[in-house]
Amino acid sequence: MPELETTISLQQVGRLAFGAGVMDQVAHDLARAGLTSVCIVTTPPTRGHAERLALDIRREGGRVVIWDDCLQEPARRDLDNVLAIARHAGVDAVIGLGGGSAMDLAKLVAALLDGTQDIEEISGVDRLKGRSAWLACIPTTAGTGSEVSPIAIVLDEDALLKKGVVSPHLVPDAAYVDPLLMLSMPPAVTASTGLDALTHCIEAFANRYAHPMIDTLAIEGIRLIAASLLDAVRDGEDLDARTAMARGSLYGGLCLGPVNTAAVHALAYPLGGEFHIAHGISNALLLPHVLAFNLPAATERYALVAEALGCDPAGSREAVARRGLDRVRRLSEDCGIPLKLSLHGVTRDSIPRMADGAMTVTRLLERNVREVHREDAIRIYEEAY
């Protein structure tokens, strides 16, 4: 698999704090930076964490408004609602606390707060001109890696398709990855988000833009997630497993800016856009089928993925790679995810329409190790059905 680039650019958060209890640093860091008015973007399940953080910020003399009205993956109407609240409050800082939905919304709020651009102007790659508000992200799931990525995803309700905003200005000023916040994550959410993180790492490693610097993060992320996901699903209080999953997710997030994902994510977007299937589940449903499609184009890469997943390295490289595909399927099934689109409300007559939508996600498809045509997308959906 040839590498298309020999150079790479990494855009890093200004401050990255990792470990149990690091959320306790946030209020002090805000005060030290002279920030006085904060909008915390969160969701109902993580409102309690947001309230605790708000109390800390108020003790440091800051003002806080909390918005937690996002019940599913973020849509345009959610962005409009929270933007109006943040502007009315006159905030100078935005914090995303929660899963990818909360963090992505917070990133877009911080980017659009000053009103110089709107979401239509910035959708796509490198169309955001700047960001005036300070931005921090605090993940409560081990999945999206959004706390360190230059990407935010929002649902376009009219097109029934998720759209991405990619810009170095979306990389947060600070990220606080605290595994203690993940202990209460339900098993189903642990499984879904963990498989999302695994997909990030696999797609970044087997990618036309793969780079040795990112390979190191991706392979270690695969190893950590494969070894700890089931433990975290079965015992949410297992702090060692939660910490390993947080690291694996973080590594996946660090892969997204310089390399990004590929066809699994592109084909998953219509599942979330039209059928509102959770992003991690969408990836899990398609991952083994896309990898099987890709395998002839990157056999050695997928053999290395299989070894990181814990598979026996004996035999031909193709045989090892195929063990990896089986391991991915088993991991999803052991997490309790039925691996058929039909069991998640997808209708067969939607497949051509989903293929049309997926083919518009060229920023990801161009990175896939094997070229994907519309008829390939249809066949992959059919095999997953």
Kindly state the percentage of the chain with pLDDT values over 90. 90
- Write the pLDDT tens digit of every residue in 308-336: 999 999 999 999 999 999 999 999 999 99
- Euclidean distance between CA atoms 267 and 297, whole angstroms: 18
Topology given in CATH for the domain delimited by 15-182: Rossmann fold (3.40.50)
Q: Place 1 in a pLDDT band, splitting at 50, 70 and 90.
A: low
- Write the pLDDT tens digit of every residue in 250-259: 999 999 999 9
Kindly state the percentage of the chain with pLDDT values over 70. 98
Amino acid at 251: Y
- What CA–CA distances, in Å, run from 270 to 284, 349, 351? 14, 13, 10
Q: What is the mean pLDDT of the chain?
A: 95
- Write the pLDDT tens digit of every residue in 18-40: 999 999 999 999 999 999 999 99
- Euclidean distance between CA atoms 270 and 62, whole angstroms: 41
Topology given in CATH for the domain delimited by 187-384: Dehydroquinate synthase-like, alpha domain (1.20.1090)
Amino acid at 224: L
CA atoms 215, 267, 137, 116: torsion sign: positive
pLDDT for the residue 158:
74
Give the distance from CA 13 to its chain's centroid: 16
Q: Place 47 in a pLDDT band, splitting at 50, 70 and 90.
A: very high
Alpha helix stretches (DSSP H) within the chain: 26-32, 47-59, 76-89, 100-112, 119-122, 187-205, 212-234, 239-256, 263-275, 279-294, 299-308, 317-334, 351-358, 362-365, 374-384
Q: What ranges do the domains of the chain cover?
A: 15-182, 187-384
Among 166, 161, 139, smallest CA distance to 150 is for 166
pLDDT for the residue 39:
98
Among 153, 150, 200, 197, smallest CA distance to 173 is for 150
- The pTM of this model reads 0.94
